[in-house]
Amino acid sequence: MRRAMALVAVALTVIGPSSAPAAEKTPQVERTKIGGVTPAEEAAAEKYFGNTELLDQNGRARHFFNDLLRRRKVLINFAFTSCSGACPVMAQNLVRVQELLRQQGEQATILTITVDPENDTPAVLKQYAAKYKAGPGWFFLTGTPENVTSVLERLGGKVRQPSEHTAKLLIGDTSTGMWVKTVATESPETIAHLVKHLNDPK
């Protein structure tokens, strides 16, 4: 179990700041196996990620691991609604990723976690989701500053100021324990390919 928990930590190492160029062509992609589907390994993943309560864009309480991660293929990024830098590019990319995955019959959940919970209320996030025409299965998450910070710390997304957030994109499947990380400004086709082939033998 120690090995599994150590690999979780390795998988969620921060890639870099959000100031990375939006057109970055060769993002760092790391593939890390962090467990499997045994009860003990799932319990270890739940312990690591935690069940901190967050609120989605509809104001519904969501427990982080049980409601949003458990036995799902997920994409996780960090953003805030007043961002004028990488966030609009990331949102547009992920809209296209969601369309591509739907066309391919691929089931995946997208989690966008705000780094500005004091200003990004559920109502604000709902407007943001509507602005980009986010489809079903995409959760825009906020909560108390303490709860959001707790989740961000576990994912390597904690920052001092919202503008310092990373453009990192985590792609994982908690039913297999496989995780990949890249940047959310990568081309939608590349991201969709990573999602679809996440569990391919290497």
- Domain annotation covers residue 23: no
Select the more confidently predicted residue: 84 or 73.
73
pLDDT score at 27? 43
- Domain annotation covers residue 17: no
Is residue 152 within 8 Å of 113, Cβ to Cβ?
yes
Strands 109-114 and 73-79, sheet pairing: parallel
**With a threshold of 0.85, does the pTM exceed it?**
no
Closest by CA position to 172, among listed 159, 162, 161, 181: 181
Q: Give the Cα separation of 195 and 163 in Å (integer).
A: 27
pLDDT score at 7? 34
- Domain annotation covers residue 113: yes
How do residues 97-120 score in pLDDT, each as one tens digit? 999 999 999 999 999 999 999 999
How do residues 36-58 score in pLDDT, each as one tens digit? 568 888 898 999 999 999 999 99
- Domain annotation covers residue 140: yes
Which phi and psi (to 5°) does residue 165 adopt?
-65, 155
Q: Which amino acid belongs to residue 182?
A: T
- Domain annotation covers residue 202: no
Confidence at 16, pLDDT banded by 50, 70, 90: very low
87 labelled binding-site residue: yes
1 CB-near residues (< 8 Å, 6+ apart):
40, 41, 44
pLDDT score at 36? 54
Q: What is the DSSP letter of 66?
A: I
Confidence at 22, pLDDT banded by 50, 70, 90: very low
CATH classification at residue 164: 3.40.30.10
Report how far Cα 102 is from the mean position of its chain's Cα atoms.
18
The residues with which 172 forms a beta bridge, in sequence order, are 74, 179
Q: Which amino acid belongs to residue 133?
A: K
- Portion of the chain with pLDDT greater than 70, in percent: 81
- Portion of the chain with pLDDT greater than 90, in percent: 73
* Number of domains into which the chain is organized: 1
Closest by CA position to 195, among listed 91, 89, 72: 72
- Domain annotation covers residue 18: no
Over 70: is that where the pLDDT of 193 sits? yes
Q: Give the Cα separation of 103 and 99 in Å (integer).
A: 6
- Domain annotation covers residue 90: yes
pLDDT score at 37? 64
- Domain annotation covers residue 101: yes
Domain that holds residue 35: 2-12+29-196
